């Protein structure tokens, strides 16, 4: 009984971070299990379908850390809190997090590129990415000028240009350093230190 854990939205400059733990059911259909891959290698429509099926054939726990929590506490502490919450809410013999950092969480193991090596981590990757994508599609209707439906909150060239043109919106992570927007690091952008 392995709990695979992965996140989506760590490197974003807007929106929330989602961290998911998944313990796959022993009766998961083989036809579904063979489709579980790193979420980045799947289309958004495929992730939508798989995320729903994964939830039917697993115990899963999804943690959302908002942009405000990330600004207030920092990304590392938010990840640590999310990982601890998953360990407290899912029962497994092993907990394996995609990557190489345990964020100081006991009982957690790490596996580099785990989302392409273990199906339970792939499943966690898909559920987390699906939640992040849905959030950004919803936010795109509130803030269409930033192109969230397309960039999903990541710092694409078009997204950075939109920030230059319109400033930050309410869901941008203002603690993140966006040096590409500044001539020198001592300046501020729209009242926020960059």
Q: pLDDT confidence of 131, banded at 50, 70, 90?
A: very high
Q: What is the pLDDT of residue 181?
A: 57
- Percent of the chain whose predicted confidence (pLDDT) is above 70: 91
Domains of the chain as residue ranges with CATH: 2-141 (3.30.420.10), 144-193 (no CATH)
Q: What is the pLDDT of residue 127?
A: 97
153 phi-psi bin (left φ>0, alpha ψ -120 to 50, beta other):
left
Task: State in Å, rounded, how far the first CA of the chain is from the last one.
Answer: 45
**15 vs 26: CA distance, rounded Å:** 34
Residue 164 has pLDDT above 60, yes or no: yes
Q: What is the pLDDT of residue 42?
A: 87
Q: Can you list the positions of beta strands (E) in 43-158?
A: 58-65, 94-98, 108-111
Burial status of residue 151 (CB atoms within 10 A of its CB: 0-12, 13-18, 19 or more): buried
Nearest 10 degrees: Cα torsion 91, 92, 98, 101: 80
Per-residue pLDDT, averaged over 22-50, amounts to 89
State residue 30 phi and psi, 5-degree precision: -60, -35
Q: What is the pLDDT of residue 180?
A: 56
pTM equals 0.88
**109 vs 120: CA distance, rounded Å:** 14
Q: What is the pLDDT of residue 187?
A: 39
Beta strand 17-24 with 2-8 is antiparallel
Mean predicted lDDT score pLDDT of the chain: 90
Long-range Cβ contacts of 45-50 (<8 Å, 24+ apart): 47/126, 47/129, 47/130, 47/133, 48/130, 50/123, 50/126, 50/130
Structure tokens at 48: 């939508």
Beta-carbon contacts of 94 under 8 Å, excluding residues fewer than 6 positions away, are 1, 2, 3, 109
Instruction: Give the H/E segment covering residue 193.
Output: strand 192-193
Q: Indicate the annotated binding residues for a divalent metal cation.
A: 6-7, 98
Residue 149 has pLDDT above 80, yes or no: yes
């Amino acid at each position: 009984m392995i709990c695979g854990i992965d996140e989506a939205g760590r490197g974003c400059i807007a929106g929330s971070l989602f961290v998911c733990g998944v313990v796959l059911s022993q009766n998961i259909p083989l036809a579904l299990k063979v489709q579980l891959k790193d979420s980045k290698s799947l289309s958004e429509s495929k992730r939508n379908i798989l995320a729903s099926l994964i939830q039917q054939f697993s115990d899963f726990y999804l943690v959302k850390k908002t942009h405000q929590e990330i600004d207030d506490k920092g990304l590392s502490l938010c990840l640590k809190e999310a990982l601890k919450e998953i360990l407290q809410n899912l029962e497994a013999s092993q907990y394996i997090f995609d990557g190489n950092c345990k964020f100081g969480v006991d009982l957690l193991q790490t596996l580099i590129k785990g989302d392409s090596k273990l199906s339970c981590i792939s499943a966690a990757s898909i559920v987390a990415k699906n939640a992040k994508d849905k959030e950004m599609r919803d936010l795109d209707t509130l803030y269409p000028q930033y192109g969230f439906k397309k960039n999903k909150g990541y710092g694409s060239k078009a997204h950075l240009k939109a920030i230059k043109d319109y400033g930050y919106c309410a869901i941008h992570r203002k603690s993140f350093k966006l040096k590409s927007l500044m001539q020198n690091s001592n300046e501020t952008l729209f009242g926020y230190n960059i």
